[in-house]
Chain A
Amino acid sequence: MVKLLYFARLREDLGTGAEEIALPQDVTTVAALRTHLQSRGGAWASALAQGKAVRVAVNQTMVQNTSSIGPDDEIAFFPPVTGG
């Protein structure tokens, strides 16, 4: 099971901050996971749409869309950061 986390505007739009899912076998990259989540439709399709600025961290390190993911990873989706 992968642990999925959502923060800030994304957490509000999706109506959840965390969930655990089993990764489908063909979902091996960040980009594929994003597409997989979009396929849920509704808020998932709009909040994670390709044009939207979404940042991703795998195991608490910021990564690119092409990064690979594994079955026990913690994967977080969030908007561009605005601290400081």
Chain B
Amino acid sequence: MTVIRIQTEDFDAGAEIARLRAGNPKIGAVASFVGVCRDVNDGESVATMTLEHYPGMTEKALAGIVEEARGRWRIDDVTVIHRVGEMKPTDQIVLVVVASGHRGDAFAACEFIMDYLKTRAPFWKKEATPSGAHWVDARETDDDAAARWGAGERNVA
């Protein structure tokens, strides 16, 4: 099963993992990733961060990314939760959980989903810093990370 949620409220990674594993004896491995709001970005201190998204397309893009992962690895349940709205340093932003029979598939699929999410899912971050609020620039290194999986199109021009 795939669960995709876009929400303003925080999430409980432990509870999400427990829910995903519940009563499924085929699962031998669970890999998870939590993305967190930092207090410094590109040398500037960050007071708050606001995440905007494209309702409708976001869910579709994430579902497509998970489907692509399912085509590449043997994985069972997947949960992707991404928060939107205002966040502050130490707040959780994103959760990806992948369950599989074996760890190799779970690790790889979890990293793949994050790499593709960073370069293909329509989210945008705006940071409030001492020098004012500004939109975060996309990173070439995120495109490089996605390219390792064979991604052709790049996010940054």
Contact = CB atoms under 8 A, between A and B. Distances in A.
Contacts of A52: 157
A83 B125 contact: yes
A81 B138 contact: yes
Classify the secondary structure of A's interface with B: loop
Interface residues of A, number: 20
Interface of B, secondary structure class, is mixed
Given A7-B122, A79-B124, A83-B51, 7 more contacts: A7-B124, A9-B135, A76-B122, A81-B123, A82-B118, A83-B117, A83-B118
Interface of A: 5, 7-9, 52-53, 55, 57, 60-62, 64, 76, 78-84
11 contacts: A8-B52, A52-B157, A53-B157, A57-B54, A62-B61, A62-B153, A79-B124, A81-B155, A82-B125, A82-B135, A83-B123
